[in-house]
Amino acid sequence: MAWMIGLTSHWQNGYRLVSFVQFFLVALLALTLPLWKRSEPIQQNDSQELQSQTPLFQIPGILANLIAFFAYCALELSAGLWFASYLVQIRKVAPQTASAWAASYYSA
């Protein structure tokens, strides 16, 4: 994304490139789907079957864990977006450099 913005100075081209990569991955996974169906199913014992049939929200503490997980994801996304905007608008860093720094935050 940062490379495309630096190359063309348009964020739309960056999103277009990302969407092409994602569509390529979907096509690749769809083409390999028959390979996944060839594998033999794993034998499960009775205790594993009983555990997998337990309703999700009846597990103690699951609701608090889900709320905490989604709150953390929202906070991380907000921090990443804020960081790039802060670098560009307040610190007057070039948008290409700011996006590279913001991307490094997610890859760390």
Tell me: the pLDDT tens digits for 2-58? 777 778 888 888 888 889 999 999 999 999 988 887 766 666 665 555 556 678 888
* Global pTM value: 0.47
Q: Are 5 and 96 in contact (CB under 8 A)?
A: yes
Range in 87-91, 97-101, 103-107 with the lowest mean pLDDT: 103-107
Q: Give the integer Cα–Cα distance in Å for 70 and 60.
A: 18
- Say if residues 6 and 103 touch (Cβ distance below 8 Å): no
pLDDT computed for residue 28 by the predictor: 96
Domain boundaries, the chain: 1-36, 61-108
Q: Which two tokens stand for residue 86?
A: 């802060």
User: CA-to-CA distance for 50 and 45, rounded, in angstroms?
Assistant: 9
